[in-house]
């Protein structure tokens, strides 16, 4: 058909003529380039879920922190009576010399040194402190 | 081709280190079906064959990276639209040369060669909107309805553009033949 003068062709023949021309193709290297290309990682969780994960993680951390605090507190309080008020006052009185040296806010923590409330434990500490202050 | 299953498998097997064997076969089947048409369509819009190949590559990788929810209703229309967007974006950045037609002059027989060369010149004189329709109709054998989906126009508009373009091409080719 290409040999026939183009002006003599009908519309259909003209279309047929153009369709019969060879078509361009991409170079063969492109195929390998596309197929060997590294793909992106699989899709991550949807954006809506990320804040929820954050909130849940924060709540878990807070709960764990609270549990640790309660556990620490329980080592002091249950079954251990506070020392008598007189002992605490005596302790403050005995360490007054520390405050006079320039530590006005210093107080001695009057905690029992064993599971059983025992003023002797405090007294032993007091004696050691006093001995230390006297250069003993 | 059953495309939704292919796409699902492709995405499920996508790994940073590369494509698994099954996914590679799926990608190859998609490539073999659509790379040529997308390349020729890219050439219709761009003047540089290398750029048209880049568009083809971008379209396939874009398909794998696709994050939009929901299935693709018509994969062919989707791929052509993606190629069109990428090509039009690239056109804005480049100095535009007359685009080559879909015809490979190198592959023509001696009797086809003159016609192919004349067609090349005539095709470059058509407006872009007509070139797109002619290329999709003659090179890819799409229906006017399919062309309309890709170009976001009505099927009647696609048909009307095609008839105008074909008439103009005949006129230009007749002139070339008379000159020769």
| CA separation for the pair B117, A121 (Å, rounded) | 110
Contacts with A3 from chain B: Cβ below 8 Å: 111
Phi/psi for A78 (5° steps) reads -65, 130
| pLDDT band, very low/low/confident/very high, at A36 (cuts 50, 70, 90) | confident
| Token reading at A43 | 């899709």
CA-nearest residue to B11 within chain A is A42
A47 Cα to chain B: minimum distance (Å): 12
Per-residue pLDDT band at A111 (split at 50, 70, 90):
low
Q: Does residue B164 belong to the interface with chain A, where contact is any CB pair within 8 Å?
A: no
Do B115 and B109 contact (CB within 8 A), yes or no? no
Collapsed DSSP state (helix, strand, coil) of residue B101: coil
Task: Encode pLDDT of A14-27 as tens digits.
Answer: 899 999 999 999 99
On average, the pLDDT of chain B sits at 84
Q: Dihedrals φ, ψ of B68, to 5°?
A: -60, 140
Q: What percent of chain A stands above pLDDT 70?
A: 51
From chain A, the residues in CB contact with B27 under 8 A are 34-35
Count CA atoms closer than 13 A to B20's CA, side-chain side.
11
CB contact under 8 A, B138 and A15: yes
Reported residue count of chain B is 180
Q: CA of B90 to nearest chain A CA: how many angstroms apart?
A: 18
* pTM metric for this prediction: 0.58
**Alpha carbon B171 to chain centroid distance?**
25
Can you tell me the distance from the alpha carbon of B11 to that of B63, in angstroms, rounded to the nearest whole number? 9
- Under 8 Å between Cβ of B53 and A27: yes
Greater confidence (B179 vs A12) lies with A12
* C-alpha torsion angle, residues B59, B61, B66, B71 (rounded to 10): 70
Structure-block tokens of residue A41:
């990682």
ipTM: 0.74
| Residue linked to tokens 């170079």 | A27
Cβ neighbour number for residue B31 with a 10 Å cutoff: 20
């Amino acid at each position: 058909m290409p040999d026939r003068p183009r002006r003599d062709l009908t519309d259909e023949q003209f279309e047929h003529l153009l369709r019969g021309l060879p078509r361009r193709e991409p170079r063969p290297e492109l195929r390998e380039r596309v197929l060997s290309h590294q793909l992106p990682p699989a899709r991550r969780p949807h954006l809506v879920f990320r804040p929820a994960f954050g909130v849940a993680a924060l709540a878990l951390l807070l709960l764990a922190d609270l549990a640790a605090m309660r556990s620490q507190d329980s080592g002091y309080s249950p079954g251990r009576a506070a020392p008598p008020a007189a002992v605490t006052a005596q302790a403050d009185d005995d360490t007054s010399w520390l405050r006079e040296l320039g530590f006005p806010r210093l107080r001695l923590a009057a905690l029992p040194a064993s599971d059983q409330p025992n003023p002797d434990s405090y007294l032993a500490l007091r004696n050691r402190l006093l001995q230390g202050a006297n250069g003993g | 081709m059953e495309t939704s299953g292919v796409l699902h498998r492709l995405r499920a097997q996508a790994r940073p280190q590369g494509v698994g064997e099954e996914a590679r076969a799926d990608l190859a089947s998609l490539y073999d079906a659509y790379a040529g048409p997308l390349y020729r369509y890219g050439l219709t819009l761009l003047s540089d064959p290398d750029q048209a190949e880049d568009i083809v590559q971008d379209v396939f990788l874009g398909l794998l990276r696709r994050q939009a929810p929901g299935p693709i209703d018509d994969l062919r229309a989707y791929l052509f639209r993606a190629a069109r967007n990428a090509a039009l974006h690239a056109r804005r950045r480049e100095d535009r040369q007359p685009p080559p037609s879909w015809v490979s002059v190198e592959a023509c027989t001696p009797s086809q060669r003159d016609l192919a060369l004349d067609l090349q010149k005539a095709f470059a004189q058509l407006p872009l909107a007509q070139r797109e329709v002619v290329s999709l109709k003659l090179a890819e054998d799409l229906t006017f309805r399919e062309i309309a989906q890709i170009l976001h126009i009505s099927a009647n508009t696609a048909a009307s553009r095609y008839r105008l373009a074909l008439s103009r091409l005949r006129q230009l080719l007749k002139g070339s033949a008379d000159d020769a």
